[in-house]
Amino acid sequence: MRILLVRHGETDWNRSGRFQGQEDIHLNQRGLAQSRETAKAVAALKPTALYSSPLQRTMEVADEISRLLGLPVIKHEGFKELALGDLEGITGEEMRTRWPEVYDTWRNDPAKVVMPHGESLAQLQKRAWQAILELEKSHSQGEILAVVSHNFAIRAIIGKLLGVPLANFHRMSLDLASICAMEFDQRGRRLLYYNCIGHLSSQSIEPHH
């Protein structure tokens, strides 16, 4: 079995450096263009089932994949982004000013942070990995599953797969509209590829500062 993990495209909050968490933000025009390119790349891999976080920015990508393949989109709460609580919608600078202790711990040992009125990375990883195990149980060998999700959620899943401690969470970077793939078979679970953006046109690739 192969599981494709697809990150959604750009939103205005991504663009302005705001933490989105579980706020239900739509893709912007660039994000919609990215979703069309990503959907074509996913469709070419011929998934047999399609899952998505229920948030709008992931559903817009999943709907595009669904349109190309005729597959129904199955919403799964387990693939939602980290709940940031009081930090939803703020920038990193605002976090540093208003929640300096949370900011310092997030930078230095993210495993120890519980977002104010939100989740910890451990809670996110537990529910997202549980969702992966549910898919593994309910689908057969040889199937290819597409899952549209979010930055922290995908990194938490892959960190669990690779045994990367959550303290090292920031050592992984994941681009908008990227595709990762895992393979599960009788020999175990493996990462096939990570952060693939070769399907994106030059205007769709996010700039790195």
207 pLDDT higher than 90: no
Confidence of residue 209 (pLDDT cuts 50, 70, 90): very low
Q: Is 209 a domain residue?
A: no
Q: Is 95 a domain residue?
A: yes
- Summarised one tens digit per residue, pLDDT across range 1-43 is 999 999 999 999 999 999 999 999 999 999 999 999 999 999 9
Q: Which of 26, 117, 139, 150 is catalytic?
A: 150
Entry pTM = 0.95
In the residue annotation, 150 being an active-site residue is answered as yes
In the residue annotation, 8 being an active-site residue is answered as yes
Q: Is 108 a domain residue?
A: yes
For residue 145, which of 155, 133, 156, 153 has the smallest C-alpha distance? 133
Encode 159-191: b = buried (16+ Cβ within 10 Å), e = exposed: bbbeeeebeebeebebbbbbbbbbebeeeeeee
- Summarised one tens digit per residue, pLDDT across range 151-172 is 999 999 999 999 999 999 999 9
* 139: containing domain: 2-204
Tell me the CA distances in angstroms from 67 to 64, 84, 146, one per residue in order: 5, 32, 14
CATH of the domain at 172: 3.40.50.1240
Q: Is 187 a domain residue?
A: yes
Domain count, the chain: 1
Q: Which of 8, 199, 208, 209 is catalytic?
A: 8
- Summarised one tens digit per residue, pLDDT across range 108-149 is 999 999 999 999 999 999 999 999 999 999 999 899 999 999
Instruction: Could you list the beta-strand ranges (E) of 57-197.
Output: 73-75, 144-149, 179-185, 188-196
Q: What is the pLDDT of residue 203?
A: 74
Q: What is the pLDDT of residue 202?
A: 80
